[in-house]
Amino acid sequence: MPSLSRSFNHRVGFPSPDDGGLPASPFHVMARVLLLATIFAAPWAFGAVQPWGWGTLMVAALLVLVLWAVGCVHRGVLSVSWSPLYWPFLAFLLIAIAQLLVGWTADHVATREAVLKLVTNFVLFFLAGQLLFTQPENGRALRLWGLVVTLLALAMSVLALAQIMTTGQGMIYWSVPTNYGPFGPYVSPNDYCGLMEMLIPVSAGYILSGSSPKVPRWLLWVLLGVALATIAMSGSRGGGAVILVELLLFGFIIFRYRPHGAWRRVFPIVVALILISAGLFAWLANAGRRATRGLEIFQTDKSVQVKMGDRFWVARDTLRMARSHPVLGNGVGTFETVFPAYMSHVSDLHWTHAHDDFAEVLAETGLVGGALLLWGLVLFFRRAFLHLPARLRADWSWIPIGAAVGAVGLLCHSLVDFNLRLPANAAWFVVCVAVATHPGSWPDRPTRVARVSVPERNEDFIN
């Protein structure tokens, strides 16, 4: 049997060079394929919000973890690429587990479910860093992920437009009725936009990386314009505002760090993309009564969404709830149980979440959880936008930039919604964060090994 060595680079996160010459394990290939298949499939199951959906997502994530571990044993080398963001994530998870075990929660069942979802997200976060940045196929794995993202964005757009232009409004997949205003496989256009806010920037990064030589780039930009049009057609004010923020952020990065000659070539494409999206939106909006949802962006009194004023008083009452248990909160996942006692307005709506993920975190985990959240945000912004000129020298580097822009977009949307509470969207968010912040996206930084412990292979070593 091969010897099992340990190789950690926990300071920077690069795989050890000692295992670079070993052949890739087929178990790691299977793990990578299953990881991509899992996150691709999760949104189609109504965002994995139902127990069977998020339960399947959890089982699939654990199976990928097992395949990754078996692959390490098969290769005889355990190489873990460590990210500093693991620390606040693990600390937050430990708080949730402590609330569950010690009983610091107002709803034991809800906290147990939240802990399982947090474990699933951490496993996906960890695996994305291990499987999408393995040596020596860094660029190949990221390009494959970028292709998966682009295909998912296109498929979601086709489904959403097909439902708008047919009798699918009010029915998911033309067969599952819902009392809300469904969009694509989601019961709410805000949830759909939350996913697309991550997919669109990554797809743009994939196109900018020139990773589809067999497909004309102009055609990919047009297809991305269709995805942007569905954001306008969804009627989500938050989604429209976030897409504008992402376009401005992406445009600034291109203008600031891309060579001026290349910028002059890209700028007309970006303008054409926006014009195509606006033209498609205008055509659909005037196509008849089935396509009038997009006009609800400008008609706040007739919108099917929760009104902005309601979101403000719910967020304010959520902060009142946080003050009642300021240190460790009421327990992860307990908002739906605890909030009715703190409502200051009469409402016929059933509030399952605060429509503000940050306020909800404070209410459920207190100041300790809020501090961990702030720590994680600081680490994310420092690592996602660090050394951009050097990172953009790699031909695939726009894909991590797109992931960073997508993660920023969902964080902005989380100020007025609860996309991070949807299992499928949360899974995509942690994968985007992993890609955006992983040290493997810094191709020109030298490798430093902080600790290496590799036993020599000789006749005296017996495993």
User: How many residues in the chain?
Assistant: 463
Within-domain flag for 102: yes
- In the 8-state DSSP scheme, what is residue 420? G
Residue 156, both tokens: 């979601």
CA angle 143, 148, 153 (to 5 degrees): 125
What are the φ and ψ backbone dihedral angles of 450, each rounded to 5 degrees? -85, -35
End-to-end Cα, the chain, rounded Å: 7
Tell me the per-residue pLDDT of 394-418, one tens digit each, with 9 for 90 and over. 778 889 999 999 999 999 999 999 9
Using 50 as the pLDDT threshold, list the residues of the chain that sit under it.
1-18, 20-21, 136-137, 285, 288-291, 295, 297-304, 444-463
237 with 307: CB under 8 angstroms? no
Residue 312, both tokens: 């403000």
How many domains is the chain partitioned into structurally? Answer: 1
Residue 212, both tokens: 């589809």
Cα–Cα distance list, 175 to 166, 172, 233, 332 (Å): 13, 6, 21, 34
Spatial distance between the Cα atoms of 380 and 296, rounded to a whole number of angstroms? 34
Within-domain flag for 282: yes
What is residue 288's predicted lDDT score, i.e. its pLDDT? 46
Within-domain flag for 189: yes
- In the 8-state DSSP scheme, what is residue 299? -
Within-domain flag for 331: yes
What is residue 260's predicted lDDT score, i.e. its pLDDT? 55
- The whole-angstrom distance between residue 56's C-alpha and the CA centroid of its chain comes to 18
- The whole-angstrom distance between residue 149's C-alpha and the CA centroid of its chain comes to 11
Within-domain flag for 46: no
Q: Cβ atoms within 10 A of the Cβ of 240, count?
A: 17
Cα torsion 383, 388, 394, 396 to 10°: value is: 60
Q: Cβ atoms within 10 A of the Cβ of 216, count?
A: 10
Q: Which domain holds residue 352?
A: 85-446
What is residue 428's predicted lDDT score, i.e. its pLDDT? 98
What type of residue sits at position 157? S
185 with 43: CB under 8 angstroms? yes
Within-domain flag for 456: no
Sheet strands side by side (includes 77-81): 77-81, 5-9, 451-453
Tell me the per-residue pLDDT of 170-203, one tens digit each, with 9 for 90 and over. 788 988 888 777 889 999 899 999 999 999 999 9
Within-domain flag for 124: yes
Within-domain flag for 45: no
Spatial distance between the Cα atoms of 102 and 341, rounded to a whole number of angstroms? 23
Spatial distance between the Cα atoms of 147 and 153, rounded to a whole number of angstroms? 10
Instruction: Tally DSSP H helices, then E strands, for the chain.
Output: 15, 5
- Establish whether the linkage from the previous residue to 51 is cis, with ω within 30° of 0: no
What is residue 218's predicted lDDT score, i.e. its pLDDT? 78
Spatial distance between the Cα atoms of 237 and 37, rounded to a whole number of angstroms? 31
